[in-house]
Amino acid sequence: MNHRRPFAALAACLALTGCGVVDQVSTASPPAAPSPTVPAPTAASGLGDSVKDAGDIPDPCTLLSKKQVTELTGREITQIDEDGLPAGDSNRFCQWQQAGGQLAVFLGRTTEQDFTVKIADATPVNDIGERAFQLAGHLYVLYGTVSIDVYSRGDSDDENLAEATAVAQVLIPKI
């Protein structure tokens, strides 16, 4: 089974800030690259520095333990699909295949303008990150210049959203 094909489609959706109809096109330039003389801090540096505005996007597979994924979703993990991308890639993902469901986390760089582009049928979600919305079963959260996309499947829509919200709340301090 090729697990990169769903990622490519979702990455394209993420690049468009969701899977709906885009009402405007951003002309914002990407965030400036970190200075080559001073390495950008990463969540994995052990320094507790955030990459919310600059630095390498962390590998989502390293941000949640198997135990945390099981506790947050109530489902046992049957397989973990990693993106296999090198450190420094601006879009990362991890999928935890589960008995009766799935949890997927996508992280990528964005701008507030791109994130807030109006998406048809998006539902705002309060009290998580700087901005958040739900669309097509995904929870999209803005944290600085990081877009967090959490997809939980296996329960009712309300339970899946609650699980995705709990996952995002665990991820934010680690990014």
- pLDDT tens, position by position, 33-68: 333 333 333 334 333 466 767 778 899 999 999 999
43 inside domain: no
* pLDDT reported for residue 118: 64
Domain presence at residue 23: no
In a domain, residue 42? The reply is no
- Whether 31 maps to a domain, the answer reads no
Q: What is the pLDDT of residue 88?
A: 81
DSSP state of 174: G
Confidence at residue 79, expressed as pLDDT on a 0 to 100 scale: 97
What is residue 117's predicted lDDT score, i.e. its pLDDT? 79
Strand partners, 102: 97, 153
Residue 13: predicted pLDDT: 41
The closest alpha carbon to 51, from 129, 132, 127, 108, belongs to 108
pLDDT in the model for residue 49: 60
- Domain carrying residue 110: 4-17+55-174
What is the pLDDT, as a whole number, of residue 52?
66
**Tell me, what's the pLDDT at 4?**
41
Residue 25 lies in a domain: no
73 in a structural domain: yes
pLDDT at 98: 97
* Contacts of 54 by beta carbon, 8 Å cutoff, 6+ apart: 31, 32, 34, 40, 145
Q: Is residue 40 part of a domain?
A: no
Instruction: Quote the number of domains for the chain.
Output: 1
What pLDDT, on a 0 to 100 scale, did the predictor assign at position 1?
Answer: 44
pLDDT averaged over 10-residue windows placed end to end, the chain, 175 residues = 41 38 35 36 44 82 96 96 89 96 95 80 90 94 94 96 97 93
Cβ–Cβ < 8 Å for 9, 16: no
What number of other Cβ atoms are within 10 A of residue 6's Cβ? 14
Residue 41, in any domain of the structure = no
